[in-house]
Amino acid sequence: MTEPQDFSSFNLDPRIQEAIRAMGYVTPTPIQQKAIPLVLAGLDVMGAAQTGTGKTAGYGLPLLQRILPKANTSASPARHPVRALILAPTRELADQVNENLTEYASRTPLHVGVVFGGVDIKPQTAMLRRGVEVLTATPGRLLDHIEQRAVSLSQVEVVVLDEADRMLDMGFLPDISRILNLIPKNVQSLMFSATFSPEIKKLAKQFLKDPKLVEVARQNATADTITQELYEVGGGSKVPALIEVLRNHGEDGGPMRQVLVFVNAKMTCRRLTRMLEHAGIAADSIHGDKTQDERLKALEGFKAGTSSVLVATDVAARGLDIAELPYVINFDVPFAAEDYVHRIGRTGRAGSKGLAMTLATKDDDRLVDAVEKLTKQKFERRTLEVRPSDRPVSRGGRRYGRDRGETKAYTYTPPKRQAEDPLFDHPYVESGSASWAGSSPKKAEAPRSSLSGFSSRRGESGKHVCSLLGGGFRRG
Ligand code: AMP
């Protein structure tokens, strides 16, 4: 198949073409070049596409084209049944996909909408009752709406499983199966995934009919636009190492701006954010215990530059689209090597350059090996010179900030200590050790979990840490 060089060669409806022109898309990305003709031809597609490749338009544009003949301006909800259903693992991704689809369909009469959990269900119900032809949803909330009979899937023609690997990781398989059993058998099915585990292949076999495989990069490959660096740091030196990097490894040796810092557990997320703030670095966090509103607020502040560092867990960060994010730092090496690919895919998007740094201790060797194996590369082990002033200190009176002669910009003298704070009165302990309540990698966040379940999920040692942190613990 010859690959079209611009969007006009797909013969998309002029209204769709106008919308993508308005969004500034000129040249289709490789995944779009390959996927769009196949989806337009009505074939099932399995797309191996890493984050930031433009996969949303890869399925979104042809999907709109296919249902466009039935678009109408009738006010009757019955004339706007769900014809295209996109399932996404997280609220953020669902929101992002919906935003894109809304733009692509903005010049057509198609109704486009999204439903996800964590927010009031009523406005979503009202929206569904008005009729939505293109519906993006997280599985759990969609099932809630189905149970309430707010929506029917009996007229679905195209179904998309976006970030299917993540949906499986998050335990959504039963929900997905229930949903897919409610849609007609002869639908066109599309599945997109950044990684291809045996489970994903099994899912594809189950739900796709003779799918065409569309691959734009080597399996589990990371984008060439991302420079990857690995720093070996001593056991207790990760926080000072991070502070050093944040302050002095930006452009021209200055502070880094717009840095996404990944951690493995919610508790590390809150704790690290506080430590950075105490070091005079504007930081915010997003993790599974924050409400949707809190997450969006943190994200907006980050995008607007109010905070220069956003500390995030994998699940919470999924689906974030921050244009041209220059830096990603893995404060924790991810427990699952696939997450490394997802994490660093937040930078170097759509051709822009990005820097991904990983801080690793000797204890992380096994995890680093797994990342190297998956991404087919060998990291050069770099070391980092940590200035004494970058070390956060625990007892009152000493400074957190840098102290280099005339440079006092970050100097911070802690206010008189108000109360004993266990976070700062004990040395930093790496995640994964016993005093971190044995935070289990895959259970660090689960779909539809809540903080109230914390101690019960983690047993006695979890209770111990909770009570240690209780009261004096402010949200990051
Ligand atoms: P996605 O991988 O779908 O999340 O897309 C990543 C980013 O690339 C989004 O901000 C899209 O709006 C943008 N994008 C997608 N396709 C194109 C294109 N052909 N030209 C320029 N930007 C694009």
Taking residues 353-373, report their average pLDDT.
Answer: 92
Quick check: CB of 231 below 6 Å from ligand 1? no
Distance CA 282, CA 111 (A): 40
What pLDDT was estimated at residue 392?
A: 55
What pLDDT was estimated at residue 77?
A: 95
Pick the most confident of 152-166, 253-267, 291-305, 332-346: 152-166
The encoded tokens of residue 91 equal 């609220």
With CA atoms as reference, report the closest residue to 139 among 109, 169, 105, 108: 169
What pLDDT was estimated at residue 428?
A: 31
Quick check: CB of 402 below 6 Å from ligand 1? no
Distance CA 357, CA 346 (A): 12
Quick check: CB of 60 below 6 Å from ligand 1? no
What's the Cα-to-Cα distance from 366 to each of 227, 333, 337, 369, rounded to whole Å?
22, 10, 10, 5
What's the Cα-to-Cα distance from 411 to each of 65, 88, 248, 277, 464, rounded to whole Å?
57, 44, 15, 12, 35
Residue of 34, 90, 100 to mutate, ligand 1, most atoms within 8 A of C-beta: 100
Residues pairing with 328 in the sheet: 260, 356
Mean pLDDT of the chain: 78
What pLDDT was estimated at residue 98?
A: 96
Which amino acid appears at position 383 of this protein? T
Q: Are strands 112-115 and 84-87 parallel, antiparallel or unpaired?
A: unpaired
Quick check: CB of 350 below 6 Å from ligand 1? yes
What pLDDT was estimated at residue 268?
A: 92
Higher pLDDT, 359 or 461: 359
Residue indicated by tokens 């090597």? 337
What pLDDT was estimated at residue 345?
A: 79
Phi, psi of 152 (to 5 degrees): -120, 145
Quick check: CB of 25 below 6 Å from ligand 1? yes
Q: What is the DSSP letter of 48?
A: E
- pLDDT bucket at 354, cuts 50 / 70 / 90: confident
The encoded tokens of residue 92 equal 């953020």
Return the residue whose CA atom lies nearest to atom 18 of ligand 1. Answer: 25
Q: How remote is the CA of residue 313 from the centroid of ligand 1, in Å?
A: 23
Residue of 10, 20, 21, 23 to mutate, ligand 1, most atoms within 8 A of C-beta: 23
What pLDDT was estimated at residue 3?
A: 52
Give the helix ranges, DSSP H, for 352-406. Answer: 365-375
Lowest-pLDDT choice from 53-57, 75-79, 113-117, 218-222:
218-222
Phi, psi of 217 (to 5 degrees): -145, 160
Own/partner pairs, 149-153, CB within 8 angstroms, 24+ separation? 150/124, 150/125, 151/82, 152/81, 152/82, 153/82, 153/85, 153/179, 153/182, 153/183
Quick check: CB of 54 below 6 Å from ligand 1? yes
Contact in structure between 372 and 359 (CB atoms under 8 Å)? no
pLDDT score of 309 more than 80: yes
Higher pLDDT, 302 or 189: 189
pLDDT score of 205 more than 70: yes
Quick check: CB of 28 below 6 Å from ligand 1? yes
Over residues 129-170, the pLDDT tens digits come to 999 999 999 999 999 999 999 999 999 999 999 999 889 888
Return the residue whose CA atom lies nearest to atom 4 of ligand 1. Answer: 52
pLDDT score of 200 more than 70: yes
Q: Where are the beta strands (DSSP E) in 26-126?
A: 45-48, 84-87, 112-115
What pLDDT was estimated at residue 166?
A: 85
Q: How remote is the CA of residue 99 from the centroid of ligand 1, in Å?
A: 12
Return the residue whose CA atom lies nearest to atom 14 of ligand 1. Answer: 54
Total Cβ atoms within 10 A of residue 75 = 9
Pick the most confident of 94-103, 310-319, 323-332: 94-103
Instruction: Give SS3 for 176.
Output: helix
Quick check: CB of 53 below 6 Å from ligand 1? yes
What pLDDT was estimated at residue 346?
A: 76
What pLDDT was estimated at residue 384?
A: 82
Q: How remote is the CA of residue 125 from the centroid of ligand 1, in Å?
A: 30
Quick check: CB of 50 below 6 Å from ligand 1? no
Return the residue whose CA atom lies nearest to atom 11 of ligand 1. Answer: 54
Phi, psi of 274 (to 5 degrees): -65, -40
**Nearest ligand 1 atom to alpha carbon 323:** 10
Q: How remote is the CA of residue 305 from the centroid of ligand 1, in Å?
A: 22
pLDDT score of 329 more than 90: yes
Q: How remote is the CA of residue 177 from the centroid of ligand 1, in Å?
A: 29
Return the residue whose CA atom lies nearest to atom 19 of ligand 1. Answer: 28
Taking residues 6-19, report their average pLDDT.
Answer: 95
Over residues 24-82, the pLDDT tens digits come to 888 898 899 999 999 999 999 999 876 677 899 999 999 999 999 999 999 999 999 99
With CA atoms as reference, report the closest residue to 157 among 70, 262, 272, 55: 70
pLDDT score of 453 more than 50: no
Taking residues 158-185, report their average pLDDT.
Answer: 93
Over residues 384-430, the pLDDT tens digits come to 877 666 555 443 333 333 333 222 223 223 333 333 333 333 333 33
Q: How remote is the CA of residue 54 from the centroid of ligand 1, in Å?
A: 4
**Nearest ligand 1 atom to alpha carbon 24:** 21
What pLDDT was estimated at residue 192?
A: 93
Residue of 7, 12, 29, 33 to mutate, ligand 1, most atoms within 8 A of C-beta: 29
Q: Which domains does the chain have, with CATH numbers?
A: 7-215 (3.40.50.300), 226-390 (3.40.50.300), 419-476 (no CATH)
Q: How remote is the CA of residue 323 from the centroid of ligand 1, in Å?
A: 9
